[in-house]
Structure 1
Amino acid sequence: MADLNTRLFSAADNLRSKMDASEYKNYLLGLIFYKYLSDKLLEKVVEIADESLEEYSTQENQTQLYRNLLADEEIKSDLIETLVDTLGYDIEPDYLFSVLANQAKQNTFQLNDLSAAFTNLSSKYDQFNGLFDDVDLRSKKLGSDDQQRNITITEVLKKLNDIDVIRHDGDVIGDAYEFLISQFASEAGKKAGEFYTPHQVSVMMARIVAMGQEDKKLFSVYDPTMGSGSLMLNVRNYINHPDSVKYHGQELNTTTFNLAKMNLILHGVDKEDMRLRNGDTLNKDWPTDEPYTFDSVLMNPPYSAKWSSDDTFLDDSRFNRYGKLAPKSKADFAFLLHGFYHLKETGTMAIVLPHGVLFRGAAEGVIRKKLLEDGSIYAVIGMPANLFFGTSIPTTVIILKKNRNMRDVLFIDASKEFVKGKNQNKLSDENIDKIVETYMKRENVGQYAYLASFDDIKENDFNLNIPRYVDTFEEEESVDMAIIGSTIKNIRKQKAELESSLYDIISSLQYDEENAEWIQGALEVFNRGK
């Protein structure tokens, strides 16, 4: 992780003065993704050739092996066919990232070769179509002419080439994205983190939605505001058949949609197992054909976003059961109801929202009341402030289920348990474990959790503000007034002794006429005090 961050920071230095963070992160992430595809292919070539990675330990050796195999006409077609069958793509040797990076080191790199490499991959294989559009190699921000742009990308390639993306411990795209946002949030502006759910929050939500469904041989996950896709991907770490997961996601922002697609490909998700759409989640329902309900729904939508809230949505099957539409200025409940509509009867949904959804009135109050009367809200988890990039507000994670016999709600106040960071707070493994275990046990925990009955909630006028249910007030220690009185008496005695001593010292001073006035004044002050 440290090596990845160091090299990203260094590579970013070549772009920071030329464009803002929201742009240069697209270059860095696109190039890292291409490097991953290229490096993965070379290792696969060694495996197909039945050779050892110890013997072919350098990319130079691996590339030469690849060239030799392709030079043999009897082997060539089978090799390419096997690469496409196992990886889903092939890359010509001249377009490998390591080859282009070596040319950069020798100052022979040509921008046209990288552009051709992107075009070749995108045109040959549908899953890569449009993924490199944001790596605009003709942008004048890279340099005023081809030579300057060539120099800029040359430096970036050299710095990224030494990152070991194959053996990176974690989610390389997610980790790179999180680092770039956290490092340059001030440049990228307030929306820097709107597409990324911090890893610890993602883990907590994934563990909860997978609970009780771990043994399903076919498992489906849906994120209608998928951002970088990391929230969906985490689910497979907590089920017993991770290779059978089907991923369904939608994202409005095209750049971020491409990022999610990269992320899933990097995690080895086959194109048959991902169904992703670049579109507006609220204005037009999707998916509408089978399957349109899922075992788990995970969401971190943009908070209090605007939407049309047109009256025609009152006939929309996602919203028509709740009597009112989410207000135009706050789409929070529109996102929640969309996700909930697409949840299976046996599934679990987790959504991150601002605290206002728990207590705001008017239309939101009507929707919240209906959800509670239906028993749809299963748990409300209060999260610490300053967990998310670009906003310091505390958030809540709401868990929803369908067809429950009970209408009780578990409240967890986890807002005070976190690891304080320089820029962002974080959840430790212990913090996450405590939330998940408390959720699983569904019992009262003093100053941390409360299982509220429907009557409790009704008495509170369907207000779900967490402090109404979880009392975090800590009584102060009782005070012994006798001890305090004795202490005050001793202090007064010591004060009198000090004043008397000081009076004697001043009285004994030798002084001239020049100082007589203030000495006499000081003695009068002491006498008045007596």
Structure 2
Amino acid sequence: MTTTLEQQLWAAADILRGKMDASEYKNYLLGLVFYKYLSDAELREVYEQENGQTTDFPDRTIQYQTLTEWFEEDAEELTEIIQLQKGYFIQPAQLFYTYRQQADRYEFNLTDLQAGFNELERQGNLFKGLFADIDLTSTKLGSNAQQRNVTITEVLRALDEIDLFEHDGDVIGDAYEYLIGQFAAGAGKKAGEFYTPQAVSRIISEITSIGQEDRTPFHIYDPTMGSGSLMLNIRRYLSNPKQIHYHGQELNTTTYNLARMNLILHGVDQERMNLNNGDTLDSDWPTEEPYQFDAVVMNPPYSAKWSAADKFLSDQRFERFGKLAPKSKADFAFLLHGFYHLKDTGTMGIVLPHGVLFRGAAEGTIRQALLEMGAIDAVIGLPANIFYGTSIPTTVIILKKNRATRDVLFIDASNDFDKQKNQNILLPAHIEKIVKAYKKREDTDKYSHVASFEEIKENDFNLNIPRYVDTFEEEEPVDLVQVSDEIAKIENELSEKQSSLLDMMNQLAVTEESKEIIEATKRILLGGQHE
């Protein structure tokens, strides 16, 4: 993430964070960042239409002038061309650049910004409801219209300093991670969301792409997609990123809109975007072709509650396993949902708490069934405290269908991290080590082990990682003679220091008032020597 993105998000958030909770102000900031991106992308598109493709864009003032001149000459033609190229058209009066200029002249009005939101939302299903969570009439922005104007004016100025096209990465995802990390480690938790750190996304993305790098088209599915960043990471590892089709579902409407913004920001057109706002477990989706995918990636809410109603025993996703995940812990329900939607040739990666590896009862039955069919390919233990909103250690489980073997690769990466102030961080070297171990699939002392099905069966299908990877480090034997010598040496040094201090005290010129204090100190020191 560029320093500018961090600095300006900080500046903008600083304006709002005294007025509302972080889970609210991130909606304003991310929505405005998205609107700015669309506005600035339109300015660039118009400039390129007039001057030919370029990577060297002039100042936005010149870009804006190009747009307004064309708009005044033939508004209908310009609108048609930009809508064809970008899928939307923002009127010159409603561009983010225009609002910023008005803010600098103290002429900005919130009603104009709301009109811009409304007009964009009318331009097809892709944008419908995207700004529903941005309430520009909220008294949290100010008790009256003038105060609310001032607040948003300051936010506009801060955000407009970000050059979104110079940012190398996942803008919405990086901004979301930064806001949660800096201002509200609990913001995601309050909203029922768990953001997947980029490092974990990269591990899952790289592993699920192995052997499928050249597949076109490539279909990826995330049934609990959050901001969509876990799906977007797959682009790093495929030969044809423009041939990726994204399928995702999200229960929380605010987060669902965030994912839509994120995919649009990354140039995903409507034909390659199949997203749904719904409850993944309660009602299966998608049910129409395609409903099975080359990669399934998931970071569901950990140990969430669900109905576990009897009707699910005849649901195609769960019926073959004979048991349902318990009402108090839906972890295996999410896993089986994802596994059902995986192609026979695909790979699935899911992040879950460690309890799924060893808990008994219904979960033990499901785990045994998965192991007997050879579905569990690898179990990767991650360090604790790498997720925002929870400090628990987690595991990445890799699943496949129709494997030739039923062995399981265990990787214990729980001790490999960089400790920072509030979070533990996985560095590129740690990620590379995990992926390399997955590819090699062999025993490495204190790090990885390939367990046969018979070994797992002997362990009653318990997949707790320490049963298979011994990371115990024996302490060096204690040399008692050396310790005794060191203690004697310390005692001699202490005696010498006390004697020196007593000599110094005897030489002091003291008053009657301090005499008693010095004598008492001597008694303590001498008493310590005779103990």
TM above 0.5: yes
Aligned to 1:32: 33
Aligned residue type for 2:248: G
Shift of 1:480: 5.2
**What amino acid does structure 2 have at the position aligned with 1:455?**
E
- For residues 461 and 114 of structure 1, do their structure 2 counterparts lie closer, same or farther at Cα, with a shift above 3 Å needed? same
SS state at 1:128 partner? coil
In structure 2, distance between residues paired with 1:169 and 1:133: 28
Native 8 Å contact 1:46 1:53 kept in 2: no
- Range that drifts further, 313-322 or 50-59: 50-59
Correspondence for 2:322: 323
Query: Does the 8 Å contact 2:194/2:388 carry over to 1?
Result: no
Partners of 1:4 and 1:143 lie apart in 2 by: 26
CA drift at 1:365: 0.5
8 Å CA contact 1:192, 1:389 repeated in 2: no
Query: In structure 1, what is the equivalent of residue 295 of structure 2?
Result: 296
Q: Using the alignment, how far apart are the partners of 1:189 and 1:121 within structure 2?
A: 27
* Distance in 2, Cα, partners of 1:482 & 1:428: 43
Q: Distance in 2 between matches of 1:523 and 1:140?
A: 72
When normalised by structure 1's length, the TM-score is 0.91
RMSD: 2.9
After superposing the two structures, state which structure 1 stretch, 489-498 or 9-18, moved more. 489-498
Amino acid at match of 2:20: M
The CA deviation string for residues 80-117 of structure 1, in whole angstroms up to 9 with x for no partner, is 22211221111110001011111011100111111111
Q: Deviations over 1:449-486 (max 9, x none)?
A: 0110111111111111100100001122245566667x
Number of the residue aligned with 1:453: 452
1:373 partner amino acid: E
Structure 2 distance, partners of 1:51, 1:290, is: 40
| Structure 2 residue aligned with 1:5 | 6
Question: What is aligned with 1:357?
Answer: 356
Asked if 1 retains the 8 angstrom alpha-carbon contact of 2:188 and 2:194, the reply is no
1:186 is displaced (CA, Å) by 5.2
Q: 1:369 to 1:310 in 2, by over 3 A?
A: same
Q: What is residue 144 of structure 1 aligned with on the other side? A: 143
Instruction: Please say if 1:419 is aligned against 2:418.
Output: yes
Query: Given that residues 195 and 226 in structure 1 are in contact (C-alpha distance below 8 angstroms), is that contact kept between their aligned partners in structure 2?
Result: no
Give 1:323-402 correspondences, 5 Å limit.
323-402=322-401
For structure 1, list consecutive stretches of 5 or more residues without a partner in the other structure: none
Preserved CA contact (<8 Å) 1:195 1:256? no
Report the counterpart of residue 49 of structure 2 in structure 1: 48
Per mean C-alpha deviation after superposition, the further-off stretch among 11-20 and 295-304 is 11-20
- Name the residue aligned to 1:18: 19
The number of equivalent residue pairs is: 519
Q: Name the stretch that deviates more: 182-191 or 160-169.
A: 182-191
Structure 1 position 190, deviation (Å): 3.5
Residues 46 and 461 of structure 1, relative CA distance in 2, 3 Å threshold? same
**Partner amino acid for 1:446?**
D
> In the alignment, residue 210 of structure 1 is paired with which amino acid?
S
| CA pair 146-522 structure 1, distance change in 2 beyond 3 A | closer
Counterpart residue identity of residue 390, structure 1: G
CA deviation after TM superposition for structure 1 residue 159, in Å? 1.2
Q: Deviations over 1:424-459 (max 9, x none)?
A: 111000000000000000000100001101111111
Which secondary structure state, in structure 2, belongs to the residue aligned with residue 124 of structure 1? coil
Name the structure 2 match of 1:62. 63
Q: Please name the residue that 2:107 is paired with.
A: 108
Report the secondary structure of 2:367's partner residue.
helix
SS of equivalent to 1:289: coil
Distance 1:184 1:437 in 2: 35
1:174 is the counterpart of 2:173: yes
User: Structure 1 residues 435, 193: closer, same or farther in 2, change over 3 A?
Assistant: farther
Which residue of the partner structure matches residue 90 of structure 2? Answer: 91
Per-residue deviation, 1:188: 2.8
Mapped contact 1:192–1:390 kept (Cα < 8 A)? no
Change (3 A) 1:489 1:378: closer
1:109–1:522 distance in 2 versus 1, CA, 3 Å:
closer
Contact 2:9 2:175 in 1 (8 A): yes
- The 1-side partners of 2:350 and 2:304 are apart by 15
Equivalent position amino acid for 2:289 in 1: E
SS in structure 1 at match of 2:387 = coil
SS at match of 1:237: helix
Distance 2:8 2:170 in 1: 16
Q: Identical aligned pairs, as a percentage? A: 60
Q: Map 1:246-257; keep pairs closer than 5 Å.
A: 246-257=245-256
Does residue 71 in structure 1 map to residue 72 in structure 2?
A: yes
Q: Which runs of 5+ in 2 are unaligned?
A: 508-515
Q: For 1:235, give the aligned amino acid.
A: I
What code does the residue aligned with 2:84 have?
D
Residue by residue over 1:19-54, the C-alpha shift from the partner in whole angstroms, topping out at 9 and shown as x without a partner, is: 111101000000000000000000111100026869
- Aligned-pair CA distance for 1:522: 10
Partner amino acid for 1:66? L
| Gap change, CA 1:498 and 1:171, over 3 Å in 2 | closer
- 1:489 and 1:194, CA in 2 relative to 1: closer, same or farther beyond 3 A? closer
Aligned counterpart, 1:161: 160
TM-score norm. by structure 2 comes to 0.91
Greater shift, 298-307 or 166-175, is seen at 166-175
Give secondary structure in 1 for the equivalent of 2:247: strand
Following the alignment from structure 1 to structure 2, what is the Cα–Cα distance between the partners of residues 340 and 229?
A: 19
Structure 2 counterparts to residues 163-202 of structure 1, below 5 A: 163-185=162-184, 188=187, 190-191=189-190, 194-202=193-201
Shift of residue 170 of structure 1? 1.2
AA aligned to 2:120 is L
